[in-house]
Amino acid sequence: MSWPSIPSPASSTRYQRAIVLVEVLVGAAIIATVAGLFLMVLVDSAANIARSRDRTEELMIASETLRGAQASWPSVHQAGETGAYRWSLNCEDAPKLQSKRLALIACESAVTRQGAPPNDAGLKLRAAWFATLPPP
């Protein structure tokens, strides 16, 4: 019967160095994975912020065109460009809901980014108000 040999101190040091090296490599892989995931979150957040900024600009332009239409009724601009955006305005009055002095006006403002893909509908905003009719 042979007894297992006891490793010499020199080989024991080699094993310890190998174990330490494996631990360092595993730790570096974990840190690299976490850093990669963090960068993916940052890139995705930047894209979301850019989309939100575009949508906010579209909303501001649409609401400004509706306010302008209400202030300058009945001479309303039908379309135009503001910065990198194109807008159009469609207004109608409801003849059935008209009195001698007031008319119900409904407008829709559509805003899209110039150069946007054709399937990008942009933003549409609607508003309605009562406008005073000119005297007969």
Q: What is the pLDDT along the chain (136 residues), one digit of tens a residue?
A: 566 665 665 567 878 888 889 999 999 999 999 999 999 999 899 889 988 998 899 999 999 999 988 888 777 778 888 888 989 898 887 777 777 888 888 899 999 888 877 777 788 999 988 888 777 7
The 10 Å Cβ neighbour count of residue 74 is 12
How far apart CA 126 and CA 64 sit, in angstroms, is 12
Please report whether residue 111 resides in a domain: yes
Please report whether residue 128 resides in a domain: yes
Tens-digit pLDDT profile for residues 10-29: 567 878 888 889 999 999 99
Please report whether residue 1 resides in a domain: no
How far apart CA 127 and CA 108 sit, in angstroms, is 7
Question: How far separated are the first and last CA of the chain, in Å rounded?
Answer: 123
pLDDT value at residue 5: 63
Please report whether residue 102 resides in a domain: yes
pTM for the full model? 0.65
Please report whether residue 121 resides in a domain: yes
Count structural domains, the chain. Answer: 1
How far apart CA 98 and CA 112 sit, in angstroms, is 32
Please report whether residue 80 resides in a domain: yes
Please report whether residue 81 resides in a domain: yes
Please report whether residue 2 resides in a domain: no
Q: Which domain holds residue 30?
A: 9-132
Main-chain dihedrals φ then ψ at residue 116, nearest 5 degrees: -70, 150
